[in-house]
A and B are shown apart, each in its own frame.
Chain A
């Protein structure tokens, strides 16, 4: 049965993706895509809606239409990305865009008032659809967020977004929203002119129906003017061609500074907006569709979409293969050690609504821990992501102790003390003495979990939960399991990580686990380049140009040279010569240079601007006379040592899949997202070609570049790591 006949035969109730009813002159249409927790848009939704509209157009009993979501607390999350990811050619993707544009044009031309009630996320295609309606009402709820995040997956809004948004909110605000992919709240949307009014959530439908009747009866006129608050700047900048030119020039510059040329989508979005403003809506739409089509099939967009799908898949992944395994219920969490990491972990845990008991060695340390949890919450208040009352409510969930009181009943304890095996074992024994059933997780970044678990009376409840610093901002959680960790314990740690809003990968125990393990050869290689005479800034710049957020030397300064050395030593012991750190690095640490934390590293931190400290070269062979290295050579050596090690991790079962390996490197280490992670990078380069490159490095620089056996195997067969 086609949707059209479904509409024709049913006057009320559910048809496909919609529930519709007509009452008092208004047709209310609720979108409720079956089988999904969030509404996502596909061709079927658009087709069914078109059929509904033509029915309502013909129905004299319908004066106006109200569109809203049938899902609880979310409106529309966007379009189905898999549809345009699957496009083979730019022309195919362009056609998809054209089709969507035509659908929303039809919405805009619908002769009766069409009011949309937005409660919950309204993103991408959802917002583009809303912008084509006559009147937009948003609920005054923190969950209501509107945005066009398409550039995050390497494309631009392709259903009229680049054209309708600037016409509603003005060029400046539109460029900002599209290029930054930032979401705005209902209040902000109102002041921008993106929505016409904001109402309490419970009144959303009633007000929407009332507006539909008013608009139909001519008692109210649709607004078609940009946000009032920006009128002056707008008139000055956008009214004259010179100002407009300046605006676009500045936007392009800002974008380029952020993307360093790696991400073409934001720039294309600027082009599309400008084109539409110069040549009119129809031309603009054509430009938008063409740009969308080209971008959708580009490598960058493909990698970003793959990462997006990997992340989405991980959200559904319980962390264990057996579907029958259930996570334990966790209602209270303990955190041992309230330092930088411990307080960070406590913070994301109480933000998830879970009470946390912090254990510290004395009152002063406990007070400092509470202080830093509080500081993080204050920060959220400052950024307006929560208000003061919410902060106070969150703070009530955290208490501190210097003994074991209150830890007898926690379901999970996360240890975040100093990296010292004996200390961690002692805490594990202390915990098990008061708590017979709770899970013990270690936030170690280098000590093998099995070594810690040796102290346990029931090692099946011991595992690693490796958070990244700063915990509040870093999205990855690496859950580390030993041969003995029970599946339900793994599932529990994964579930808690998700509640803390982390992307969770499950990895096998071993020196450095996954992320630290692939980071160490990368850092070692960077250090070796310095030993060979490279300039600090050349090494850093090469890797930033490659797409890492910061260069390896800067990263070492940030992490702390002593910490870096400690982790490197663990891996050297675990894997031998291949992981041997540059010997002269030790002299730098021994000279008391610990990095940013003591203001002395490879860079100086006294001035306003961070500069390379030339005296550090005195501690390295070659002294201050530095040599030039080609950026390509630096990139090849440093990046490929990470990729090669990642492949070893896959073949040894450290990571469960190439997907997890990619996500871990991108979210944990900042591996360039547009390269998709080490395995996508290898596949894109071609495993055979990559094998040759690694072999060439091995020939020049020695055994540390010996290709991982799995790379040799895949490379020889020309087979990619990811199946498609």
Chain B
């Protein structure tokens, strides 16, 4: 385990600019929009802000996790539904919750390979527009009936249907091979890793407090576009609507566990909620940024992806990916001025942190003599994370890269480590630097 690969060549990709929509609880501000609508809003605004001329963009990589029944290739739609020239090639990627990390590193690779000098990467998600499918029996019958040659034949086919065949099938947020939902898997991790409810609630509280403070101080406002919501443009969404500045431990403690009503510790309060939103980044080679006279927000120094068996520790991926990304950056955890970890569940972050610090985990799982180390709480998710800000699956990675780079420059610090856990036992880690 733990192939470290070759250290990075030392070449970096510049993050010129980034932007996201406010993140809105599903069914609220962006109720009537789809992922492709949200994505094109943010990409169009990023282009219209004009840090580079639209004609400079040579590639676009975009993602969406929950599929849409009407848009099959969201990447290309981001070109066709914005002010970008039609000539920009585009593709769609998915790596579950790490989708826009994937989009960013894909674009970065294209730039490092010299295939493009300037690219846009990002992702969008609408949990308000999650597809509801017809039952398998209903869709089969409809297909057959459409091929039927006579009315009688058609009637015979449709008469086979039973009332239950008409009930819609919601999209699965379930691991297909383990049969467990995300929440159930997190519950299993909390139990195995011994993460108490109180620690989870405390972590969730801190996420809200820090996110609320970051909004208050204006730290987040600068990276969030204001969205007059089309097509009526009557409301303007101008901030995240999940974060609460009045969260208390008592209120969090009062919530009932959702996935295991008797022994469980995972609640709606210490999990990330279903969210609508989109985020996008503008990337360029260092040379291009210099030639255009642009000061980048920072650079992607290295990244790594890893995976484990999803059965017992589904969301432990970051503990596998982070050491590799750091090795590739030739840096250690102690060099990191900021650590930003995606918060699918408080229990998952606390499990990841436990593994970071565990010698046993390092020896057994990573074949490394030393653990990665302890993360200083004062450097961890300093502006809150997905629990408080929300988690539009495909937008989270880009949101984190943007947020971390801007925080580095506010603090005049150099390095940040980002981690994202994802379905299927996947993990992603990115090392960012400012100068």
B 215-254 binary contact with A (CB < 8 Å = 1; else 0): 0000000000010101111111010000000000000000
A368 on the B face (CB < 8 A): yes
Quick check: is B81 within 8 A (CB to CB) of the other chain?
yes
For window 356-412 of chain A, which residues contact chain B by CB distance below 8 Å? 357, 363-364, 366-368, 370-371, 374, 392, 395-397, 399-402, 405-406, 408-410
Contacts of B49 in A (CB 8 A): 401, 405-406
Residues of B within 8 A of A405 (CB): 49-50
Q: Note all chain A residues with C-beta closer than 8 A to B81.
A: 392, 396
CB pair B83 A355 closer than 8 Å: yes
A363-B226 CB under 8 A given contacts A396-B82, A396-B83, A406-B50 = yes
Q: Is the CB of A370 within 8 A of B228?
A: yes
Asked if A209 CB lies within 8 Å of chain B CBs, one says no
| Distance A234 CA – B228 CA, assembled complex (angstroms) | 51
Mask of B145-164 contacts with A, CB within 8 angstroms, 1/0: 00000000000000000000
Whether, in the assembled complex, A213 has its beta carbon less than 8 Å from a beta carbon of chain B, the answer is: no
Instruction: Say yes or no for A332: interface residue by CB 8 A criterion.
Output: yes
Give me the 4 closest cross-chain CB pairs, A-B, nearest first: A367-B228, A399-B48, A409-B50, A371-B233
Binding site for B on A (CB under 8 A): 332, 355, 357, 363-364, 366-368, 370-371, 374, 392, 395-397, 399-402, 405-406, 408-410
B45 at the interface (CB under 8 A from A): yes
Partner of B230, one of A366, A374, A397: A374
- Can you give 9 A-B contacts (C-beta < 8 A)? A357-B48, A366-B226, A367-B233, A367-B236, A374-B231, A374-B233, A400-B228, A405-B50, A410-B50
Q: Tell me if A399 and B45 are in contact (CB < 8 A).
A: yes
- List, in ascending order, chain B residues with CB within 8 A of A368's CB: 233
Docked-complex contact A363 and B233, CB < 8 angstroms = no
- Complex alpha-carbon distance, A408 and B236, angstroms: 24
Give the most central of B49, B83, B232: most A CB within 10 Å. Answer: B49
Report the Cα distance A608→B83, complex, angstroms.
Answer: 44
CA distance A396 to B53 in the complex (A): 16
Q: Within 8 Å CB of B228, what residues of A?
A: 363, 366-367, 370-371, 400
A408–B50 Cα gap in the complex (Å)? 8
Question: Are B40 and A396 interface neighbours, CB within 8 A?
Answer: yes
Most buried by B among A364, A367, A371, A395: A367
The binding surface of chain A is classed by DSSP as mixed
When distances are taken between beta carbons in the complex, the residues of chain A under 8 Å from B53 are 409
Complex contacts, A400 vs chain B, CB 8 Å: 228
A371: chain B residues within 8 A (beta carbon): 228, 232-234
- Our count of residue pairs bridging A and B at CB distance below 8 angstroms stands at 52
A392 to B238 alpha-carbon distance, docked (Å): 23
The distance from the CB of B180 to the nearest CB of chain A, in whole angstroms, is 41
Nearest B-chain residue to A371, judged by Cβ:
B233
- A405 to B225 alpha-carbon distance, docked (Å): 11
A370 proximity list for chain B (CB < 8 A): 228, 230, 233
Provide the bound-state CA to CA distance between A364 and B48, in Å. 19
The interface residues of chain A lying within 8 Å CB-to-CB of B232 are 371
Say whether B44 faces chain A, with CB atoms less than 8 Å apart.
Answer: yes
- Chain A residues lying within 8 Å of B48, measured Cβ to Cβ, are 355, 357, 399, 401, 406
Q: How far, in angstroms, from A370 to B48 measured CA to CA in the complex?
A: 15
Rounded to whole Å, the gap between the CB of A628 and the closest CB of chain B is 51
**Docked-complex contact A363 and B40, CB < 8 angstroms:** no
Given A355-B83, A367-B236, are A396 and B50 neighbors across the interface (CB < 8 Å)? no
B226: A residues at CB distance < 8 A: 363, 366, 402
- Distance in angstroms from A55 CB to nearest chain B CB is 46
A374-B231, A406-B49 known; A363 and B83 CB under 8 Å?
no
B316 to chain A, nearest CB (A): 41
Residues of B with C-beta under 8 A to A396: 40, 44, 81-83
Task: Give the Cβ gap from B343 to chain A, nearest Cβ, in Å.
Answer: 29
Which residues of chain A are within 8 angstroms of B44 by Cβ–Cβ distance? 396, 399
Taken together as a complex, chains A and B put the C-alpha atoms of A397 and B81 apart, in Å, by 9
Residues of A within 8 A of B234 (CB): 367, 371
Q: How far is the CB of A333 from chain B (nearest CB, A)?
A: 12
Residues of A within 8 A of B235 (CB): 367
CB distance from A226 to the nearest CB of B (A): 39
What residues of A have a CB within 8 angstroms of the CB of B238 in the complex?
A: 363
**Chain B residues within 8 Å of A367, by CB:** 228, 233-236
B233: A residues at CB distance < 8 A:
367-368, 370-371, 374
Closest-by-CB residue of B relative to A400 is: B228
Docked pose: A366 CA to B40 CA in angstroms: 18
Least Cβ–Cβ distance between B198 and chain A, in angstroms: 41
A28 to chain B, nearest CB (A): 33
